[in-house]
Amino acid sequence: MLETSQPVHNVLYWSHCRCKAFDVTDIEIMRSSIRNNAANGLTGFLYREAGFYVQLFEGPKSAVEHLHKTLLNDRRHYGFQLIFASQSNQRLFVDWSMGYSNDAANQLGLASQKIQPSDLPAENVVNFLQNISVG
Ligand SMILES: Cc1cc2nc3c(=O)[nH]c(=O)nc-3n(C[C@H](O)[C@H](O)[C@H](O)COP(=O)(O)O)c2cc1C
């Protein structure tokens, strides 16, 4: 899937969830994500906590740009806030067409600290996503 000669484009953003945690909506989002991302060479991780989604997706430029535009129009979330759009020579989530974790453990501490994802350094958010993606 990964062509090492091609740069890997990536997007990290956060948004507000419209549905409650454990709603079937997240399962529907993940069903499309896994199917589409596998077909389009995208990998990444979606995390939700305290009413926020935080997602990193990565892959070929055209697929990343297409998903970015699609997400802006998806009414299952709102207030899309780009944290970064960048490129790299390697993927962060090689094993995940789209991994998922929810807010059962409130691990980022967003609610308890009364902060939103952009209040954290982007590097901490990426490290956090990578850590939960490996269990
Ligand atoms: C928070 C969130 C994350 C999403 N992540 C992805 C994703 O990684 N890949 C994807 O194809 N669609 C994702 N979607 C869904 C897209 O916005 C869109 O509904 C979907 O790609 C349409 O494809 P479908 O018609 O095959 O379901 C996400 C939606 C939300 C609300």
The model's pLDDT over 50-97, given as tens digits with 9 standing for 90+, comes to 999 999 999 999 999 999 999 999 999 999 999 999 999 999 999 999
What one-character DSSP code corresponds to residue 135? -
CA of 79 to the centre of ligand 1 (A): 16
Rounded Cα gap, residues 45 and 126, in angstroms: 10
For domain 8-133, the CATH class is alpha beta
The kind and range of the H/E element at 63 are helix 61-72
- State the closest ligand 1 atom to the C-alpha of 98, by its place in the atom list counted from 1: 8
Residue 56 alpha carbon to ligand 1 centre in Å: 13
Q: What is the pTM of this model?
A: 0.95
- Residue 3 pLDDT greater than 80, yes or no: no
Residue-wise burial string across 68-105, b where 16 or more C-beta atoms lie within 10 A, e elsewhere: beebeeeeebeebeebeeeeeeebbbeebbbbbbebee
